[in-house]
């Protein structure tokens, strides 16, 4: 009974073919929910940066709170091995510089790759142009890779979690995550109120 520990694929309970089948199904639900919540509109994403509408950070924050709540409950019950979940490594300087660049691209285009793919499905012509740009950006990166190679692999902390930084365990990270996400949502709601004061 206790042999089945999540996640399924990493722990050998799924064949690669079955995992690919789930890729389509899970991707489909992701795209579906992106459309239902309005994420497929570049206008909605851009509105965030002018504090016109902060649905995007609200949805992202609640998404992270919800997912981590499931994780921590399942880990507490002993049903999931959180260390087996793929976690991106932490590269401090590359993420700072790359993140800034990403943000500039986002306010220009109003899309990120996932929302543009779903947006293309809803008929957005700017999403199509954006996706053509994605190919161009990848090409540019390949060509410039020899010159940026050293920088992008610098300041590598490996898999580095909140509790590695602040001490404690996964529960500490969970509490910090919920506090940060709710704090950000609250702060943005306040900023939205102040920014739109007197504006019609």
Partner 1 sequence: MEKKYWNPYFGGVVLGTMLFLTFVIASQGFGASGTFSRATAQLLVNSDKSWLENAYIASYFRHGDNAMLNWTVIETIGIFLGGFASALLAGRFMIRPDKAPGYPMAKRFLWALIGGMIIEFATRITRGCTSGQGLDGMATFSVGAWIFMFAAFAGALILSPLWRKQWVGENNEGGEE
Looking at residues 105 to 134 of the shown chain, list those that interact with partner 1 (rule: CB under 8 A): 105-114, 116-127, 129-134
| Phi and psi torsions of 6, nearest 5° | -75, 155
Collapse the DSSP code of 5 into the 3-class scheme (helix H, G, I; strand E, B; otherwise coil) and give the result: coil
> Taking CB under 8 A as the rule, does residue 70 contact partner 1?
yes
Among 4, 15, 78, 138, binds partner 1 (CB under 8 A): 138
- With 0-12 / 13-18 / 19 or more C-beta atoms within 10 angstroms meaning exposed / middle / buried, residue 78 is exposed
- Tokens 């410039």 sit on residue: 144
- Tokens 């950070």 sit on residue: 57
Q: Which two tokens stand for residue 178?
A: 């919920």
What minimum distance in Å lies between the beta carbon of 198 and partner 1?
11
Among 15, 27, 183, 190, binds partner 1 (CB under 8 A): 27
Distance CA 33, CA 62 (A): 14
Number of residues that bind partner 1 (CB under 8 A): 134
Binding to partner 1, residues 33-62 (CB under 8 A): 33-38, 40-44, 46-50, 52-53, 55, 58-62
Among 4, 25, 77, 194, binds partner 1 (CB under 8 A): 25
Cβ-based nearer residue to partner 1, 1 or 158: 158
Cβ-based nearer residue to partner 1, 149 or 193: 149
Among 4, 88, 147, 197, binds partner 1 (CB under 8 A): 88
Distance CA 86, CA 19 (A): 15
- With 0-12 / 13-18 / 19 or more C-beta atoms within 10 angstroms meaning exposed / middle / buried, residue 31 is buried
CA-based end-to-end distance of the chain: 61
The contact mask relative to partner 1 for 149-188 (x = CB under 8 A, - = no) is x--x----x-xxxxxxx----x--xx-xx--xx-------
Among 86, 147, 167, 197, binds partner 1 (CB under 8 A): 86
What minimum distance in Å lies between the beta carbon of 10 and partner 1?
4
Give the number of other Cβ atoms within 10 Å of residue 127's Cβ. Answer: 23
């Amino acid at each position: 009974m206790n042999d089945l520990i999540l996640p399924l694929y990493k722990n050998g309970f799924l064949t690669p073919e079955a995992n690919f089948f789930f890729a389509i199904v899970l991707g489909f639900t992701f795209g579906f929910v992106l459309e239902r919540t309005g994420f497929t509109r570049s206008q909605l994403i851009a509105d965030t940066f002018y504090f016109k509408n902060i649905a995007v950070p609200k949805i992202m924050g609640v998404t992270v709170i919800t997912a981590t709540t499931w994780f921590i409950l399942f880990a507490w019950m002993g049903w999931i091995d959180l260390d087996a979940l793929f976690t991106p490594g932490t590269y401090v300087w590359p993420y700072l510089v790359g993140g800034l660049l990403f943000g500039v691209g986002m306010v220009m285009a109003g899309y990120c790759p996932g929302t543009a793919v779903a947006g293309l499905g809803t008929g957005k012509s700017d999403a199509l142009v954006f996706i053509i740009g994605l190919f161009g950006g990848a090409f540019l990166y390949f060509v410039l890779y020899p010159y940026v190679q050293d920088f992008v692999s610098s300041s590598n902390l490996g898999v580095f979690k909140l509790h590695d930084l602040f001490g404690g365990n996964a529960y500490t990270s969970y509490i910090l995550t919920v506090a940060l996400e709710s704090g950000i949502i609250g702060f943005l709601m306040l900023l939205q109120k102040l920014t739109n004061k007197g504006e019609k």
